[in-house]
Amino acid sequence: MNPWTKKYIPKFTREIIGQEASIIKIKQSLNLKKPFLIHGPTGTGKTTAAIALSKELGLEIFEVNASDTRNKEGIQNLLGSSMQQQSLFSKGKLILVDDIDALSGTKDRGGLGAIEELITKPKHLTFLTCIDPWEDKFSKLRKKCILIEFQSLKRDSIINHLKKICEEEKVNYTEKDLQEIAKLSKGDLRAAINDLQAFSITKTISTEDKSERDKEEDLIFCLRKILKSKKWNETINIFDKTNEDLNECMLWLDENLPKEYSSEDLKKAYEKLSRADVFQGRIRRWQYWRYLVYINILITSGIAISKKETNPETPEYTRTSRILKLWMAKVRNAKKKSISEKIATVTHTSKHRALKDTYPYLRKILQNPEVIKELELDEEEIEWLRK
C-alpha cells in the first residue's frame, strides 16, 4: 500500500498549504546568502518546502537527518565535503539538515558546534529545520541564520486538503468525519493524512462511537509517531498525549513492533523495550520513580531511532493479545492444578508430586469413567481433559 503522505506530497512550493507568507519570505531572502533556519511544529511542511524549492531552482539537494549522527566527527564527515564541493549535475546545491533538535549543544558531542562552523561561509543554499529555535543551545546558530516560522496548520486548511484526497481516492466521507481527523491531528497534516488512509481502508470513513475509542485512537496516534518517525524530537514523551497506563503502552508496542520493524531494527527496538521493562521492575521493587524518565525515553525516541528505514506499508495496529494469552494459560493451569489436587488426595501424595510426576502419566487414564468418578471431577475438568 502506497502511503498517501508520499503520494500527495507537494511538488511545488505553491502547493504547500498554510505557509504562503513564510514561502514568500524565503524567496525574498535568497539573495542574502545566509542559511535558513525553518522552525515550527511537526507536519507543517518544513522539509517539504526545502525539497520543493530545490526543484524549482534547479538545485541538486543533499539531505541529511541530524538524528542519524549527532557528534562532531559524524557531522563533518556527512556535510563537510558536500558543503564545499560544487554540484556535478545542476547549477548548484541545496543543503538540507533536518531535525537539528536532536543535536547536543554540549562540547562532548560537538554536533551543533560543527554545523555552526560549516555554515559560517556557506557555498550553497543551506536549510536547517527544528521545532523550537529558542532553546539556549541554538543561541549562536540563530545569529547566523534567517529564521522562518512555519505555523501549526488551521483545522479548516487540513479539512480542505483531506477533501481533495478523498475525491481523488473516491472515498466516501462526511464533514463530521474529517473534522474528527483534523482535530486528532493537532495541526499535523502528515498525521491527518495517515489517519485518513487508515480510516478509509473500506473506502468509507467511519468515526462513529469515537467517544468510546478516544483513548485507543490517541494511543494509535502515538504508536504511529514512534513506529513511523526516525526523529528524536517528534517522539520523545509522545505518550503524554494519551491517558493510557504505561504498562498498556508497552504492551501495545510489544504487539505491533513486528508489523513495522524487521531483522536488526526489530532486535534493537526490543532491546529498548526490554531495558524499559527492567527499569519498571526496579520502580516496583524499590520505588525509584525517577526511572520513569528513562522508561519514557526508551519506549518513545529510543524505539523510534532504532530503525534504519521506515516501513512504507501502513499496517493496522491492534490491541495486545498477551493479556488474553496469559489469562488462557492461567485458566489451563488452574484446571491442571485442580485435577492434580484431587489426584493427590486419592493417591495420598503431595500436590507438587501429583502435578509434576503423576499427572503427565495418568492423563489418558483420567479419561476413564471410573477414574473420573473416583476423583469427583466436575464437568469443566472433564471437558478440559478431552481437548
**Three-class SS of residue 92?**
coil
User: Which band of pLDDT confidence, cut at 50, 70 and 90, is reported for residue 149?
Assistant: very high
- Give residue 211's pLDDT: 41
pLDDT tens per residue across span 171-203: 888 888 898 888 878 788 988 888 888 777 666
Which cell goes with 243? 491517558
- The H helix count followed by the E strand count for the chain is 20, 5
Average pLDDT over residues 222-237: 79
Distance in angstroms (rounded) separating the CA atoms of residues 114 and 105: 10
- Give residue 328's pLDDT: 56
Asked whether residue 212 carries a pLDDT value surpassing 60, the answer given is no
Residues in CB range of 362: below 8 A, 6 or more apart? 343
DSSP 107: T
DSSP 121: S
- Give residue 108's pLDDT: 46
User: Which band of pLDDT confidence, cut at 50, 70 and 90, is reported for residue 273?
Assistant: very high
User: Which band of pLDDT confidence, cut at 50, 70 and 90, is reported for residue 84?
Assistant: low
Residues in CB range of 340: below 8 A, 6 or more apart? 351, 354, 355, 358, 359
**Which helix (DSSP H) or strand (DSSP E) does residue 181 occupy?**
helix 175-185
Percent of all residues in the chain with a pLDDT value above 90, rounded to a whole number: 22
pLDDT tens per residue across span 88-133: 665 788 989 888 887 766 554 677 888 888 888 778 889 999 888 8
- Give residue 204's pLDDT: 63
Distance in angstroms (rounded) separating the CA atoms of residues 200 and 48: 25
Task: State the average pLDDT for the chain.
Answer: 79
Which cell goes with 66? 541530524
Higher pLDDT, 168 or 246: 168
Domains and CATH numbers, the chain: 4-149 (3.40.50.300), 154-208 (1.10.8.60), 229-320 (no CATH), 322-385 (no CATH)
b/e 47-64 (16+ beta carbons within 10 angstroms → b): bbbbbbbbeeeebbbbeb
Asked whether residue 165 carries a pLDDT value surpassing 90, the answer given is yes
- Give residue 362's pLDDT: 57
Q: What is the pTM of this model?
A: 0.54
Strand residues in the chain grouped as ranges (E): 36-39, 60-65, 93-98, 125-130, 146-149
Asked whether residue 27 carries a pLDDT value surpassing 50, the answer given is yes
Asked whether residue 268 carries a pLDDT value surpassing 90, the answer given is yes
